[in-house]
Amino acid sequence: MKKMIPDRISLQQLFYAPVAEKQRLAEELHQEYGADFLRHDDLRAGLELLQKYASLLNRYMAEAGMGKLCVRCAAGSGGGCCSLYMADETDAVQLLMNMLAGVTVRQGRNDSGECCYLGEKGCRFTFKPMFCLNYNCRNILAAASPENIRELERLTGQLLGGQYEVEKKLLNLISTRMNKCRSE
């Protein structure tokens, strides 16, 4: 018999709990309901489209040399915008979305300085928090042409819009589970 996870969580916990709690909730939801959620054609199609958008954005950033700027900055003293504070920008729904797309979500750092989701090659996520996607540091802005920035913003907006749509679908599925559990 399945545990009724949604019966013990609130939607507020999905977004405002401490990082470890949000990850635990996402893992439990994924374990209990991930396969059921992926049976929904619209959710699967949304995740596939998101992966395409994320790939286009990543490829563009690599071709424009933006990744090299980030690596150089992060390697310097006090460098890098992926601070521990940024880990708190994640939420359980965004973590669950990554898990449903096959991303292994685990904390790799515990050094009180950098984001705990940074790996050796950068962010572990395919679908990143909105703040992370929207942030362009002064080094990127200074090195990129106005055309590069416009294209970066277009691709980022495309990905964020898609993430928003998939998050709505996931929230609807989670909410439906919560209501079903409470009525039983």
> Does any domain span residue 184?
no
CA 113 to chain CA centroid, nearest Å: 20
Per-residue confidence (pLDDT) for residue 175, from 0 to 100: 86
> Does any domain span residue 5?
no
> Does any domain span residue 140?
yes
Q: Which helix (H) or strand (E) holds 123?
A: strand 122-123
Q: Which residues of the chain have pLDDT under 70?
A: 1-9, 11, 67, 69-80, 109-112, 121, 181-184
Per-residue confidence (pLDDT) for residue 179, from 0 to 100: 75
Containing structural domain, residue 161: 12-175
> Does any domain span residue 128?
yes
Into how many domains does the chain fold? 1
Instruction: Check if the beta carbon of residue 116 is closer than 8 Å to that of residue 109.
Output: yes
> Does any domain span residue 144?
yes
> Does any domain span residue 135?
yes
> Does any domain span residue 183?
no
Per-residue confidence (pLDDT) for residue 1, from 0 to 100: 39
For 38-90, how does the pLDDT look when each residue is reduced to its tens digit (9 = 90+)?
999 999 999 999 999 999 998 998 888 776 766 666 555 555 677 777 778 88
